[in-house]
Each structure stands twice: as structure tokens, then as C-alpha cells.
Amino acid sequence: MKKVLIVCGNGLGSSFIVEMNVKKILAEMNKEAEVAHTDLTSAKSENADLILSAKDIAEHLSSHSAKVVGLSNLLDNNKIKEILAENI
């Protein structure tokens, strides 16, 4: 099963909201993935297949082995759905 990691600066508010949205979108698409949220520092040592974050955070994860996608708008569920469809 693929793992999706949502990353924000502190791993609290915005990443948690996006995690809930990702889980909802995956359910609507009848797809399964392990979904979690974390802070930037912890993300660097976490295993994942796909990382979603704000664009400014994504720049700090460029050396990660996962595919890293920086979002302009963390609440753009249509864009998130598009990314998940391409990667899960």
C-alpha cells in the first residue's frame, strides 16, 4: 500500500486538515493508501511514496526519495484529487 505524507511547518493544523481531505478524496475514488501528517523536520526521515505540502515547504524536501508535490493552495481539493489520481 502506498503512503501519502502531508507536511507543514509544525505538523499540526494545516497538515491535519489536508490529511482529512486526502482520506475523504481517496474514499470517493475507491482507492486505498496509508495517509499521515507530520512536521518538516520529521518528514525528512519518514518513508513515503508521495508527499504533499505547501510550495515553500516542498522546497526543503527536494532530496527526499518520495515524489514531492508543492501546493499553492492546501485546500484545493480538485488539485489534490488530480495529484492522487496520478500517483496512487
Walk me through the domains of the chain, giving residue ranges and CATH numbers: 3-83 (3.40.50.2300)
Cα–Cα distances (Å) from 12 to 9, 18, 65, 85, in that order, read: 8, 10, 23, 25
Q: How many helices and strands, by DSSP H and E, does the chain display?
A: 4, 4
pTM over cut 0.85: yes
Give the position of cell 489534490.
Answer: 80
Per-residue pLDDT tens over the stretch 12-32: 889 999 999 999 999 999 999
SS3 30: coil
- Helix (H) or strand (E) run with residue 20 in it: helix 13-28
Residue-level pLDDT at 10: 87
